[in-house]
Structure 1
Amino acid sequence: MEQHIIPADQILPQKLHLLPLVDRPLFPGMVTPLIVTGEADVRTVHEALEGGNFIGLVLTRTEERTSVSPDGLYTVGTVARILRKINLPDGGLNIFVSTLKRFVVRKFLQEGPPIVAAVEYPEEIGEQTDEVKALTRALLGEMKQVLENNPLISEEIRLNMVNIDQPGRIADFITAVLNIKREEQQEILEIFDIRARMEKVLIYVKREQELLKIQQKIQKQINEKIEKSQREFFLREQLKAIKKELGVPVDAKSAEYQKFKEKMERLPLPDEVREVVEQELEKFSLMEPQSPEFTVIRNYLETILSLPWEDPPPEVVDIKKATRILDQDHYGLEDVKERILEFLAVRKIKQETKGSIICLVGPPGVGKTSIGKSIARALGRKFFRFSVGGMRDEAEIKGHRRTYIGAMPGKIIQGLKIVKTKNPVFMIDEIDKLGISFQGDPASALLEVLDPEQNVAFRDHYLDVPFDISKILFIATANTLDTIPRPLLDRMEVIRLSGYIEEEKIAIARRYLIPRSLEEHGLSKDAVKYTTPGLRAIIRGYAREAGVRNLEKAVDKIHRRVAKKLVMEELSQEELPVTITPENVETYLDKPLYPEEETKRIKKPGMALGLAWTPFGGDVLIIEAVATPGREGLSLTGQLGDVMKESATIAYTYVRSIAPRYGLPLEFFERHHIHLHVPAGATPKDGPSAGITMASALLSLVADRKLRPQLAMTGELSLTGNVLPIGGLKEKVIAAKRARVKEIIIPRSNEKDLEEIPEYIRKGITFHMVESMEEVIDLLFEEKLKRRRK
């Protein structure tokens, strides 16, 4: 830019063609080139040249490079003389203009394109006052500091600023040089009072100084960091040289490399694994620590070299010790203990672990997990437990491939890394609750883990090398077998834990639950005493389930309340021990969950006691039938499954078919609508084993005779009256024992299952084996129903 003075004889036109400027306004007194590209702007320049070479330069109100109307222009601009025009190859123009003076648009004569306006040239005021002279000196002084600290401003611009002798032009020139917004420059262009203009520019110069100070501070900090990093680099290089002379590993990476290499040479790795580790070690040595893959390789090497590759010592199975440990840890479950001891005896004789997979099946709280721990203790092995309940991603079992961010090995390899031995006991909890999703099928992944033909060379996706997991003793736990995939179930030896009867729960509470709970709650061994009737009241009123979890919670609650009374001095040490009896149980446990009056008993015709199996153990169901006058039919309620609904229909049809044989009126069915209900209504139920129970309830209703009290039954009924075998007999008998049932009707085909139930559970119960419904009918009533002769 150059300063340019208007000749004294220069006459400025009162009508101007206006050229819109987008980037920033131009100030008077400068010579500068302009590139004109738009078709409308090129026409504006040509018409201006034809009308005397004068053109008006006006800033647009927005930065959009589109066609501009008069409303999109500021009304104060700069008149300029076109000194030279050069045609460009693309049709545009390069013009050199000399800016002369500010003008104000008074009226738009042509809205364009091109835009033509009538203008006037107001005079600037206040140029020769003392205040303006002082402001000029201050402005030049402040600007000098800006120019000294800003290397981007050329020497030519500095000389031009010094040579300007008009205060207004000095302010304009500085405004054009400063890096301020286009709107702020336009604001200064519109100020005709020189003093006010210089004060405004002085504010912007001060702001520029502050920005330069901040910039210098930042630059200084960056330079210091660079110098520090260069210094640290030289020091590190010196340290490397010193360590090399001393024979010490040069850096952390070298130390890790040496550690990995020594560990690899020490471990008995198979050839395939050793080759992979050597390749990864070579990559590790060549890779910079800042590389993202460096951490991936280091974690991989750390994992693979932390695994127990050495073969374990020969297994020593001491059956007597195992018997002692199982008896110490568990009361009852004699058949389960016997099965486990048989399993261990085979291992002792055969000295072969291949194919050793146990599945403990039973309701919650019966001790499945603790039995797994006891087996590990009996074998002298380490124990690792993980749950697969709700697992939906097969990578949880077989690991993630290393191509994924955050990849890690599966549960099997993680467990081996933790226990650091090749032959631990792994407990896989909740195997019946495996899920399936788009991420894969974990049950299918477990097939490889549990298959003795495949797990000798198990490949985790993360490791991607074979690892022998056949020496692991796998113990799975489940509440039910129904939801375990059949191929997976075939690979396991099933051991059932059926639950506990009342006497067993009392013994478990005395031997295990009460002493442990007293210690956990900070009470002495003699702080709370339990009478046998007191424990029986707790079990009957608060813990009737198959396991002992609710019993443990009840004992914990009693001890918490005793501890609270001691702390609040409602109870003194002299008043200990607290004795729990049936009379004060409710004081500590509130109202019973199972009031005595709700005990399931036969109270009227149409009621029958059935035995059911659930994932939470056996249960006693009371089936109710009611007849109402109306259209013939059968309604079923109680959330019955399809199989149970079919059993109810079979029972209804059968009872109707035999009614005449027992002298019962067939008209009863034609004149009544029968409603069959199986409480509790909120619990889903299914299965065929309630067939004879439903038929008995319907027969009781039609005969209007109450069934014998304390008689329960289970068995599938065929349409012709045959009683077919059922499953879960042990769980059902235990449930009957808990409910104090005295007689049970079972299918004769289940007689062999009855032999597997311990004698102490069967004691006090009379079992009736039947093959047909007619035999059942003979046992239902105090006085037998008489059959008519055919």
Structure 2
Amino acid sequence: MVAVFAPPFGEKNIELPEELVLFTVPLRDIVVFPHISMPLLIGRPFSIEAVRRAWESNRLIFLPVQYDKEKEEVGEEDISKIGTVARIIRIATVEDNRLKILVEGLARAEAEKYFFDDVVTAKVKILKEEVPELTPEDKALIQEIKELLEKAVSLGKRIIPDMLYLIKSEEDPVKFADFVASVLDLKTHDALKLLETRDLRERLKLAYQFLYKEVSLLELQQRIREQARKTMEKEQREYFLRHQLKAIQEELGVGKNPEVEEYREKLSKLNLPAEVKKQIEKEMERLERLHPDSAEAGVLRTWLDWVLELPWNKKTRDRYNLKRAKEILDRDHYDLEKIKERITEFLAVRKLTKGKTKGPILLFVGPPGVGK
């Protein structure tokens, strides 16, 4: 089966017949839009053969989208009905006998029937573009898309300057919509959705929605980068200032704070949990930066003295000798019989349960000097 139409090579404005039969290359992970030139790498044998035959005949080819990119062999249900009729501009053989071609999209088309032999061919119908008279709302939408594109570029989106200029200066709304679609960072199914949308207004709205999402993502990425940059700058500044302070102290002969060094020596001898040790070291660094006579420095010294004197990881063995306990209570405390009895009861319960119960905690209340 051969194509039925052969345009003169090099002609810019090609009048395509309403129906024609073309060699077909199902594309994986890419969509070619009308009015856009794009390089393609062709690797499957049946696609390579289709390109060669198209090149030798009329240089026109039909480019639909393959739904499942992992499939090597395809059937009619695996290929989109809507695709792009394109002209092959250049063809070259690269490594592994694959072909690298440059194509120019000409028009949207719908496959009425696919034919599968040693190559894929399709009977296609050209989809005529109806250009409505632009309303003020349409013009406002086009202007908004142009401004969003400029914003995307300012946020780091890569668009060739010539392409950006072409989009901004294009007055044909059909070409404008396809130009915009070609520069969007879209997944294959989203790009295909744009290609399949025949109504121009709906296509412009859809392109705006995709572009708006992309700009929102770029803004978020920029905020993340800015936060990371500020964090790095702060850390670098603190690192520089600490080293500068150290150099100044050494120059003045101040050296290290002996009080803090004494605390560090005590800390090194203790077997503390990691979180506790980290907090103590943090407070030591604060003390080192404070003026020795400041009120906050006094509070920190008190806290460090207290926390470093605590019996970390030290335990005593409980003794439940009730007779011995009563002797000690009678020897050291006169009267207070009810309190002594309560203490003895508490120890008795602990002895019976071998210290495993979560019993009450004794609280001694009274003024100073009464024997608490």
User: After TM superposition, is the score higher than 0.5?
Assistant: yes
Describe the superposition over 1:289-347 as per-residue Cα deviations: whole angstroms up to 9, x where unpaired.
Answer: xxxxxx9xxxxxxxxxxxxxxxxxxxxxxxxxxxxxxxxxxxxxxxxxxxxxxxxxxxx
Secondary structure of the structure 2 residue equivalent to 1:144: helix
Alignment of 1:146-225 (within 5 A): 146-150=152-156, 152-225=158-231
Are positions 1:119 and 2:121 aligned together? no
TM-fit CA distance, 1:197? 0.5
Aligned in 2, Cα 1:522/1:81: closer, same or farther, shift over 3 Å? Answer: farther
**In the alignment, which residue of structure 2 is the partner of 1:84?**
90
Q: Kindly provide the amino acid, as one letter, of the partner of residue 141 in structure 2.
A: L
Paired residues of 1:56 and 1:78 also in contact (CA < 8 A):
yes
Identity of aligned residues (%): 26
TM-fit CA distance, 1:525? 4.9
Q: Kindly provide the amino acid, as one letter, of the partner of residue 102 in structure 1.
A: R
TM-fit CA distance, 1:56? 0.7
Aligned in 2, Cα 1:516/1:16: closer, same or farther, shift over 3 Å? Answer: farther
Farther-moved stretch of structure 1 (71-80 vs 221-230): 221-230
**In the alignment, which residue of structure 2 is the partner of 1:573?**
none
TM-fit CA distance, 1:202? 1.2
- The equivalent position to 1:523 in structure 2, one of 335, 338, 345, is 338
Aligned in 2, Cα 1:524/1:515: closer, same or farther, shift over 3 Å? Answer: farther
Distance 2:342 2:78 in 1: 93
Distance 2:17 2:101 in 1: 21
TM-fit CA distance, 1:147? 2.6
Aligned in 2, Cα 1:515/1:168: closer, same or farther, shift over 3 Å? Answer: farther
Aligned in 2, Cα 1:526/1:241: closer, same or farther, shift over 3 Å? Answer: closer
Alignment of 1:20-99 (within 5 A): 20-64=26-70, 66-99=72-105
Describe the superposition over 1:239-293 as per-residue Cα deviations: whole angstroms up to 9, x where unpaired.
Answer: 11122124344599x959x959xx9xxxxxxxxxxxxxxxxxxxxxxxxxxxxxx
TM-fit CA distance, 1:29? 0.3
Describe the superposition over 1:151-186 as per-residue Cα deviations: whole angstroms up to 9, x where unpaired.
Answer: 522312212212422112211111211112211111
Describe the superposition over 1:207-239 as per-residue Cα deviations: whole angstroms up to 9, x where unpaired.
Answer: 222222212222221221122122212211211
Alignment of 1:392-411 (within 5 A): none
TM-fit CA distance, 1:139? 2.1
Secondary structure of the structure 2 residue equivalent to 1:98: strand
- The equivalent position to 1:227 in structure 2, one of 233, 241, 263, is 233
Paired residues of 2:107 and 2:127 also in contact (CA < 8 A):
no
Question: Whose radius of gyration is greater, 1 or 2?
Answer: 1
Describe the superposition over 1:718-772 as per-residue Cα deviations: whole angstroms up to 9, x where unpaired.
Answer: xxxxxxxxxxxxxxxxxxxxxxxxxxxxxxxxxxxxxxxxxxxxxxxxxxxxxxx
Are positions 1:135 and 2:109 aligned together? no
Distance 2:257 2:41 in 1: 60
Secondary structure of the structure 2 residue equivalent to 1:176: helix
Paired residues of 2:32 and 2:38 also in contact (CA < 8 A):
no
Q: Which runs of 5+ in 1 are unaligned?
A: 264-294, 296-416, 420-425, 428-507, 529-548, 555-559, 561-790
Distance 1:162 1:85 in 2: 31
Alignment of 1:329-340 (within 5 A): none
Distance 1:89 1:525 in 2: 97
TM-fit CA distance, 1:522? 8.6
Paired residues of 2:46 and 2:120 also in contact (CA < 8 A):
no
**In the alignment, which residue of structure 1 is the partner of 2:13?**
7
Q: Kindly provide the amino acid, as one letter, of the partner of residue 119 in structure 1.
A: V
Secondary structure of the structure 2 residue equivalent to 1:150: coil
**C-alpha root-mean-square deviation of aligned residues, in Å?**
4.1
**In the alignment, which residue of structure 2 is the partner of 1:699?**
none
Paired residues of 1:31 and 1:99 also in contact (CA < 8 A):
yes
Secondary structure of the structure 1 residue equivalent to 2:149: helix
Aligned in 2, Cα 1:205/1:526: closer, same or farther, shift over 3 Å? Answer: closer
TM-fit CA distance, 1:515? 6.5
Distance 1:70 1:140 in 2: 38
Paired residues of 2:33 and 2:195 also in contact (CA < 8 A):
yes
TM-fit CA distance, 1:133? 3.4
Q: How many residues get paired?
A: 291
Aligned in 2, Cα 1:107/1:79: closer, same or farther, shift over 3 Å? Answer: same
State TM-score, norm by structure 1.
0.33
Secondary structure of the structure 1 residue equivalent to 2:87: strand
Q: Which runs of 5+ in 2 are unaligned?
A: 1-9, 270-277, 279-312, 354-358, 360-372
Paired residues of 1:28 and 1:101 also in contact (CA < 8 A):
yes
Aligned in 2, Cα 1:17/1:522: closer, same or farther, shift over 3 Å? Answer: farther
Q: Which runs of 4+ in 1 moved over 3 A?
A: 8-13, 131-134, 246-252, 511-519, 524-528, 549-554
Aligned in 2, Cα 1:70/1:512: closer, same or farther, shift over 3 Å? Answer: same
**In the alignment, which residue of structure 1 is the partner of 2:368?**
none
Aligned in 2, Cα 1:5/1:165: closer, same or farther, shift over 3 Å? Answer: farther
Q: Kindly provide the amino acid, as one letter, of the partner of residue 124 in structure 1.
A: E
Q: Kindly provide the amino acid, as one letter, of the partner of residue 171 in structure 1.
A: A
TM-fit CA distance, 1:24? 1.8
Paired residues of 2:38 and 2:104 also in contact (CA < 8 A):
yes
Distance 2:350 2:220 in 1: 73
Alignment of 1:732-751 (within 5 A): none
State TM-score, norm by structure 2.
0.66
Q: Kindly provide the amino acid, as one letter, of the partner of residue 146 in structure 2.
A: L
**Larger RCO (alpha carbons 8 Å, 6+ apart):** 2
Secondary structure of the structure 2 residue equivalent to 1:59: coil
Distance 1:205 1:550 in 2: 75
Q: Kindly provide the amino acid, as one letter, of the partner of residue 523 in structure 1.
A: K
Q: Kindly provide the amino acid, as one letter, of the partner of residue 118 in structure 1.
A: K
Q: Kindly provide the amino acid, as one letter, of the partner of residue 87 in structure 1.
A: T
**In the alignment, which residue of structure 2 is the partner of 1:18?**
24
**In the alignment, which residue of structure 1 is the partner of 2:249?**
243
Distance 1:224 1:213 in 2: 16
Alignment of 1:212-611 (within 5 A): 212-249=218-255, 255=261, 511-512=323-324, 523-525=338-340, 553=352
Aligned in 2, Cα 1:170/1:215: closer, same or farther, shift over 3 Å? Answer: same
Secondary structure of the structure 2 residue equivalent to 1:90: helix
Q: Kindly provide the amino acid, as one letter, of the partner of residue 200 in structure 1.
A: L
Distance 1:142 1:151 in 2: 11
TM-fit CA distance, 1:63? 2.8
**In the alignment, which residue of structure 2 is the partner of 1:726?**
none
Paired residues of 2:111 and 2:124 also in contact (CA < 8 A):
yes
Secondary structure of the structure 1 residue equivalent to 2:25: strand
TM-fit CA distance, 1:142? 2.7
